[in-house]
Structures are given as C-alpha cells and as structure tokens.
Structure 1
Amino acid sequence: MPTTVVLTEDALTDADVAHILSLHDERAERYRVLVPSDTDRNVVAAIIDHLWVGELRAAGQDLVGKEPTAEQAKETAAQRLERSLAGLRAAGAVADGAVTEEDPLPALAAAVAAQGGPDGVQDVVVVTYPHVVADTFRSDWASRAREHLHVPVLHLYAGTSEIGD
C-alpha cells in the first residue's frame, strides 16, 4: 500500500485533511503523520512572520520569549498529532504517526526509508503556516526535504488551499 508522509507543525484542520486526501485518486492509501516537538524557534523570524500577517500580539509574545519547556512542547505536539490522526481517520484514511524532535528532517528521512524509500512512499506533504524568512530563503522544511529526499514533496499552507514554494 503506498504511503504519504505528512509533516505538519500544527494539528491538521478539516480543510487540510480534505486537501491531502484529494491529492490521490485512491483512498486505500496509508498516511504517516509527523509533528515536531518545537521548543527552539528563531525569534527574529517568528516576529517577522507574525508581523507579516498582522499578528501584533503574537509578535510581542515572541519578543518576550515565552518558549515552552521540553515537556510542554512534547505534550502539545502529541495533542496535535492525535487531532491530525483523528481527522484523517474520520475521513476514512488509514493513519498513524509520531512526535519528532525539534528538527523533523531526520525523522522525515527515516520515515521515508522505513517505507521503502521512493518505491514505498508516494509523496511527502508538508503543512505549515507561511514563514516569510524561511520560505524566501528556501530553508523551510519542504525545501530542505526536496534537497535530501528522492520523493515528490508538496508544501501546503495550513488551513488554506494555498501551495507554498
């Protein structure tokens, strides 16, 4: 059964699930969802991202450094994973997943390899919010995955029908 690996920074919304499922004709596909436990963010990039979309309060919170503890980050990631899996399963998909470390690319590469590489993985779908700095300089997860993996990688912006670079 071909597998799609999904890397998401937040819980998948109903719109995200619908977009991911619409990528393939067959629903007999398996989905492997990865959610990073992020405790170490680039504060300057996060502030720019929030200001870019008009989130002044969130930019101020980033400025004062309200980073979660490692335990809080893992708990939040686990909750996001469970909501994502529940959404996929409710739509009739076969899905499992895992919480990854802060840098999810090693876990993404391992997930692709565990499924047989390009022969077992149909594609990788990366679901994130827009990150102006990372997207512009191609240091975002999708761009990095394209450089290292030998499978198609699609970048979707969370909660929208927009496709990232």
Structure 2
Amino acid sequence: MSEIILVLSEDALTEVDVDHITALHVERDVRYHVLVPADTERNVLVSLVDHLSLGELREALDTVLGREPEPERAHHDAEAQLEASVAAFTTAGSTADGAVVSDDPLPALRAAVSSQDVREVVVVTFPHALEDTFHTDWASRARDELQVPVLHLYAGTSRVG
C-alpha cells in the first residue's frame, strides 16, 4: 500500500516544486494528496508587510484598499490551482489527488492525518515576513499540532522555510 504525503500549497505547484517534493520520496511507494485553501480572508497588516517585503507595491495597494477575492472567486481560483498541482504531479509520473479547503487549512490537515496513513506533510508557500518570523505560518502550526514530520518549502525554490 502506498504511503500518503500530504501537500499543502497556497498556489499552484510548478514543475520545480513537484520535482523538489518527489525527489524526497524516490525510493518509496507514495501518493500525494494536495490541499489548497480558498483564500477568502486575509489579515490586512500581514498581507501588507508580506507584499512590501517582496517589493510588490500593486499587491500592497490592493491589500490596503480591501481588494480581496469574493468567496466564490477564491474557491474557483483554488480549484484551478489544485487542478494544476495535481496535473504537475501526474506529469512527473506520480499519483496525486486533492481537495480545496477553507482559509485555515489546519482542521483539514488534522482530519487527513487522523483518518489516513499520512507519512509526512509538505507545506509549500511564498515567504511571509511576519508569519515566518514569528512561527505562525502553516508549517509551524502544523508542526505544533500534528504527530508527523512537516517540511516547509518556499514556492519555486529549493529553500526550506
């Protein structure tokens, strides 16, 4: 029976992301279960600092002006990101499926770990200045709550968070 690797991503996984993840499990029979949160709620201060720290001035302005996606649009975007991520795993020759989850993915992670034979969790995010610094990011929270290894990768890079 295949081991399950739970992958939590805030955006569509790229070929590079999938290559980094699958390289960790070359010698094992695994399948990937991808979770993508529908981003319907954002902390304005955290988002503003994140965008400014990355030099994303337009996105910072959108945050200040409250231009958040409508829930329906956020769910649609998350479905598209999930589909692209599963396709990237399939293209790489791996078995993958997934689901769109709510803004706070920790309940979905807890449920998956308690109901399935999850070997580890891989969290793929963009850098978040405040959350990463103060360990309130998804990976840190998952490490505190789950009884499985949690790896945090930054999207599009081989950097570990």
- Specify if TM > 0.5: yes
State the partner residue of 2:140.
Answer: 143
Where 1:73 maps in the other structure, the secondary structure is: helix
Where 2:120 maps in the other structure, the secondary structure is: strand
Give how far 1:25 is off. Answer: 2.5
State the partner residue of 2:156.
Answer: 159
Offset from partner CA, 1:114-145 (integer Å, 9 cap, x none): 21xxxx22210000000111111111000000
TM-score by length of 1: 0.94
Distance 1:114 1:157 in 2: 27
Paired AA for residue 80 in structure 1: Q
State the partner residue of 2:54.
Answer: 53
TM-score by length of 2: 0.97
Give how far 1:27 is off. Answer: 5.7
- Gaps spanning 5+ residues in structure 1: where? none
Where 2:103 maps in the other structure, the secondary structure is: coil
Of 117, 120, 123, the residue aligned with 2:120 is 123
Give how far 1:112 is off. Answer: 1.1
Shift >3 Å, 4+ stretches: none
Distance 1:9 1:114 in 2: 23
- Gaps spanning 5+ residues in structure 2: where? none
Q: CA RMSD in A?
A: 0.9
State the partner residue of 1:35.
Answer: 36
State the partner residue of 2:98.
Answer: 97
State the partner residue of 1:20.
Answer: 21
Matched, 1:75 2:76: yes
Give how far 1:26 is off. Answer: 2.6
Paired AA for residue 37 in structure 1: A
Distance 1:17 1:101 in 2: 23
Distance 2:137 2:61 in 1: 23
Offset from partner CA, 1:46-96 (integer Å, 9 cap, x none): 111111111111111111111111100100000000000000011111101
Q: How many residues align?
A: 160
Give how far 1:28 is off. Answer: 2.8
User: 8 Å contact 1:2–1:29 — kept in the other structure?
Assistant: yes
State the partner residue of 1:112.
Answer: 113
Q: Provide the identity percentage.
A: 57
